[in-house]
Amino acid sequence: MNSLVQNDKCLCEMCNKYVLAYSSVTLYTIVTIIVLILVTHKKLIFSHTDGPEQNVVSNRNISVEIWGKASIAIYLWEHILQGDLFVLENGLGKTGSLSVSNLTFNFKYGPLFIQTTVPENVEYLVLVLNGRSEDKIKVGKSWLDYLPKYNKLKKVALVLLGDERCENNWILPYMSSRGGQINIVFIVYDSILIDNTEFYQWPLGVAQYRGFQNIHKESINGTVKRPYICNFLGTIYTNSSRSKLLQIVNSVSALKKCPIVGRKTWVPSETEESLSRYIKIIEDSDLTLCPVGQNAESYRIYEALSLGSVPVVEDRATPGFCDKTPFRLLKLYKPPFIFIKDWKELPNILKLELSMPQRLKKKRRTDVLNWYQNFKTEMRKIFLNVIAESFFS
């Protein structure tokens, strides 16, 4: 009898061990399956890399349309995203396609593309608009008001050439946080709207509307001595710091080596001859003088960087509603500029230039070209990451 009880006891202990082991294996299997599901799900949403394609969707190929209704669209496409362009209908339209991870960006620009000739089945859209003046804002609103007619539209980003006085509140009713369809905005100039959640700052870039092309740093010879110390070619506004600059230029003998070409009124376009002259003078200058205009940030800054000429930048806020600290975006990346507060500082800067050895100037040109290339790479990375996070997170 005792033997039977003892055998039953042993058998029960074996059963308990078996049940416990089975339960452990089962629990482990369930946990493993859950973990695999979560990991797989995360991989399906994002693909993390060390390059500019971080946080890009990778579960399927997704198309993102970029519709450019302002010339800064070309700067975004060619200079920042490094996409190719194809010309249609004698220049009435320009298109391109660019794949980044599992996103395919389809670019459309020019008067050939209107609300009824772009793909009506668009799901993800980056719209590039000009908000600098009332007539441009009117055109922009016509596109934004038309968005509800694209019934498959899921997410919208806006790249906006903002007002030079940062009067951009007209865009607020179109934000998704206020019942509109725009999820995020990349905006030019130091707007106080920028919060890095809905609004992100964007560089002005070069004057594409004047025909300034994407100049690759490899095409610039930074080793040749440049004949000019500095230059300024632009509009001289009455009673502006540009007028003050002109007075100082006329009083400093060293500035005879600085081509200063001023005009009294702004001209919206260039001839092929005037553009070639403009580019040649900047490329032949060690410094490019960048006085404030309607805003402290100017196309000239980026054009000088493209050609390896050091921008001498007037670090001063302009009238209006912009942040009182100008050049916030550029300053984040420690730009190779010479910042000044007043053009009275220019004579001393030029004395230093005259005494600087050529080997240091050559190195500085290389540094300027490299900095600008790296800056554009950073802007590409930021753009792609923000789009991925905002559209697909």
pLDDT in tens, the chain (393 residues): 444 334 444 434 444 443 334 344 344 444 343 333 333 333 333 333 344 454 455 567 999 999 999 999 999 999 999 999 999 999 899 999 999 999 999 999 999 999 999 999 999 999 999 999 999 999 999 999 999 999 999 999 999 999 999 999 999 999 999 999 999 999 999 999 999 999 999 999 999 998 999 999 999 998 999 999 999 988 777 777 888 887 787 777 666 788 887 665 555 667 889 899 999 999 999 999 999 988 999 999 999 999 999 999 999 999 999 999 999 999 999 999 999 999 999 989 999 999 999 999 999 999 999 999 999 999 999 999 999 999 998
Task: Output the pLDDT for position 271.
Answer: 83
Task: Output the pLDDT for position 137.
Answer: 98
pLDDT of 28-53, one tens digit each? 444 343 333 333 333 333 333 344 45
Domain ranges of the chain: 62-202, 209-376
Q: Is the dihedral of CA 171, 151, 129, 329 positive or negative?
A: positive
State how far the Cα of 60 lies from the Cα of 63, in Å rounded to an integer.
Answer: 10
Domain 62-202: give its CATH architecture. Answer: 3-Layer(aba) Sandwich (3.40)
Task: Output the pLDDT for position 318.
Answer: 92
- Residues ≥6 apart with Cβ < 8 Å to 232: 245, 249, 258, 259, 260, 261, 262, 288, 289, 291
State how far the Cα of 377 lies from the Cα of 270, in Å rounded to an integer.
Answer: 29
CATH classification number, 209-376, choose in 3.30.390.50, 3.40.640.10, 3.40.50.2000, 3.30.70.20:
3.40.50.2000
Task: Output the pLDDT for position 263.
Answer: 61
Strand order of the β-sheet with 155-161 is 86-88, 93-100, 103-109, 62-68, 124-130, 155-161, 184-188, 199-202
Identical fold for domains 62-202 and 209-376, yes or no, is: yes
Tokens 């025909």 correspond to 211
Residue by residue, DSSP assigns 196-240 as SSSEEEE---S-GGGT-----GGGS--SSPPSBS--EEEE--TTS
pLDDT of 223-271, one tens digit each? 999 999 999 988 777 777 888 887 787 777 666 788 887 665 555 667 8
Q: Under a CB-based contact definition with an 8 Å cutoff, are residues 382 and 200 in contact?
A: yes
